[in-house]
Structure 1
Amino acid sequence: MSRIALITGATSGIGKATALAFAGAGIDLILCGRRQDKLDELSASLHAKVQVTSLIFDVRDNGAVQAMVASLPDAWKNIDILVNNAGNAHGLGTLDEGDTNDWDAMIDSNVKGLLYVSKAVIPLMLERGKGHIVNISSIAGKQTYANGTVYCASKAAVESISEGMRLELTQHGIKITNVAPGAVETDFSLVRFKGDKERAEKVYQGFEPLQPEDIADAVLYAVNAPSRVTIADVTILAGAQSAATTIHRK
């Protein structure tokens, strides 16, 4: 088999774009998500290019994560690349008005989910003495903004986890890359605003936002870099964006 990549949140947005980019590069895929129909649809579209298998689990469920990764056939456990992409924003408001269910959803997926999946995969990489973990953070992990405190905190945690992973795992031949996207046009805002399409669309009006493929290109570049190179941390902003919430709209 060629290299194997496990991608969480693979059925949409950055995760799906990364799967397509990896398939184009001949990287076999373990696609992870919560919806069987979406996983089957994506898998079918990629089978002509690479070998594909899928795992159905919610990253917030540690038991399911560990069981599903353990259930992989031995050949599929030779995971070369892990892309921790699953996660989301929920709600936008001040702390005193925030919904604690939204807080739990963000911390459980963006932080704990990333840790659960990493804990399941890292031992497999350690056994082979090689691997590459790509964590999808956010500009929000580097620059906190009002009304997004908990989301920003969850992504700041990803930044710290990436740094900690690098300190712990480089000696074992495992590279760590942290990718922090700015304004990417995905379902991100639709989820944040509870399905309010009109409000979500306004987020991307007046400028040209990043596309998921732009982030996937950076991820592919990082995992294809020579062994002497580690792309440790990269921030990708839209052309009209100069900071987390500073976008120059026309």
Structure 2
Amino acid sequence: MTTQQKPVVLITGATAGFGLATAKKFAANGYPLIITGRREERLKALSDELSPLVAVYYAVLDVRSSDDVTEFTKNLPERFQQVAILVNNAGLALGAEPADQAKLSDWHTMIDTNVTGLVNVTHSLLPTLKAQKSSTIINLASIAGNWPYPGSHVYGASKAFVAQFSRNLRSDFAGTGVRVTSLEPGMAESEFSLVRFNGDQEKYNQIYNGANAIQPEDIADIIFWITEQPAHLNINSLEVMPTSQAWDNFKIVKQ
């Protein structure tokens, strides 16, 4: 299959972590790319790096703005209009304190990005995705949406939305060529993790040193594998943890 024959891939949040690694994975395998994020200098650097391999279009995009997303989709260059693979990766976690110590602004930011942003992009691209003979939506959820833990509060709730939204999309598009996957990583080490601790490297090191956590390249490999499955197969959901992590027993706090 030539580069021109391969479907167009759109990745949100492509400037770091999972999104960055996923862009590199698809480019290495000849897929034309649309990459978005909020940091133009990073997008341009990534575009310059990948352009010798594949056609790349980048755009600064705040997924939280439905107007911006609509304009972005409407103005895609002709070469990139037939998006067939959507990787909804843009998202974040802020804070790990108990709920009563959390900032309300952090809660709003997580909802606006992880829920509203994902909905904005998906809704805008559904007509295009449905028009393709076969298409794939991969939504980045989290084990935090499946299993509660202290300090997860709104982050976990937002990822539970992502997982259920993915299942509901599958119900709507059963019998069509649209595939939808909820990808649910466990402990992963990336810039995303440092953001959660407000750049506190010491706190980050306490958690991740020696944990042999999931790396962005691991998730990129899984995302690529999902899209490469035969068109008649759908990976409904996929939960993945590092071998150093497992479910904890319910604890009892004596008062």
Q: State the TM-score, normalized to the length of structure 1.
A: 0.94
Contact 1:215 1:236 in 2 (8 A): no
- Counterpart position of 1:186: 190
Once the two structures are TM-superposed, the CA of residue 228 in structure 1 deviates from its matched residue by: 2.2
Q: Aligned pair in 2 of structure 1 residues 244, 180: CA closer, same or farther (>3 Å)?
A: farther
- Counterpart position of 1:109: 113
Are 1:166 and 2:170 counterparts? yes
- Counterpart position of 1:35: 39
Query: What one-letter code is carried by the residue in structure 1 that aligns with 2:129?
Result: M
Query: What one-letter code is carried by the residue in structure 2 that aligns with 1:185?
Result: E
Once the two structures are TM-superposed, the CA of residue 59 in structure 1 deviates from its matched residue by: 1.0
Are 1:50 and 2:86 counterparts? no
Query: What one-letter code is carried by the residue in structure 2 that aligns with 1:241?
Result: Q
- 1:228 alignment partner, SS class: coil
Contact 1:140 1:244 in 2 (8 A): no
Question: Which of 222, 238, 241 in structure 1 is aligned with 2:245?
Answer: 241
Are 1:66 and 2:70 counterparts? yes
- 2:138 alignment partner, SS class: strand
- Counterpart position of 1:228: 232
Contact 1:182 1:244 in 2 (8 A): no
> Is 94-103 or 12-21 further displaced after alignment?
94-103
Question: Which of 5, 12, 23 in structure 1 is aligned with 2:27?
Answer: 23
Alpha-carbon distance in structure 2 between the residues aligned to 1:170 and 1:35: 36
Once the two structures are TM-superposed, the CA of residue 206 in structure 1 deviates from its matched residue by: 2.8
- Counterpart position of 1:3: 7
Alpha-carbon distance in structure 2 between the residues aligned to 1:122 and 1:203: 39
Q: For this pair of structures, how many residues does the alignment match?
A: 246
Alpha-carbon distance in structure 2 between the residues aligned to 1:188 and 1:48: 28
CA offsets 1:11-45 (integer angstroms, 9 cap, x no match): 11000110111111111100010111100100111
Map of 1:179-218 to 2, 5 A cutoff? 179-218=183-222
Query: What one-letter code is carried by the residue in structure 2 that aligns with 1:142?
Result: N
- Counterpart position of 1:99: 103
Contact 2:132 2:177 in 1 (8 A): no
> Is 177-186 or 166-175 further displaced after alignment?
166-175
Once the two structures are TM-superposed, the CA of residue 94 in structure 1 deviates from its matched residue by: 2.0
Are 1:89 and 2:93 counterparts? yes
Question: Which of 145, 150, 156 in structure 2 is aligned with 1:152?
Answer: 156
- 2:83 alignment partner, SS class: coil
> Is 199-208 or 64-73 further displaced after alignment?
199-208
Query: What one-letter code is carried by the residue in structure 2 that aligns with 1:217?
Result: D
Contact 1:139 1:244 in 2 (8 A): no
Stretches of structure 1 lacking an aligned partner (at least 5 in a row): none
Contact 1:145 1:244 in 2 (8 A): no
Alpha-carbon distance in structure 2 between the residues aligned to 1:133 and 1:245: 33
Question: Which of 78, 83, 86 in structure 2 is aligned with 1:79?
Answer: 83
CA RMSD of aligned residues (A): 1.5
What is the percent sequence identity of the aligned residues?
38
- Following TM superposition, where does structure 1 have runs of at least 4 consecutive aligned residues deviating by more than 4 angstroms? none
CA offsets 1:75-117 (integer angstroms, 9 cap, x no match): 3110010000000001112222221100001001011100000
Alpha-carbon distance in structure 2 between the residues aligned to 1:210 and 1:96: 30
Alpha-carbon distance in structure 1 between the residues aligned to 2:110 and 2:20: 20
CA offsets 1:185-236 (integer angstroms, 9 cap, x no match): 1012211111111112222023211110111111000000011221111111
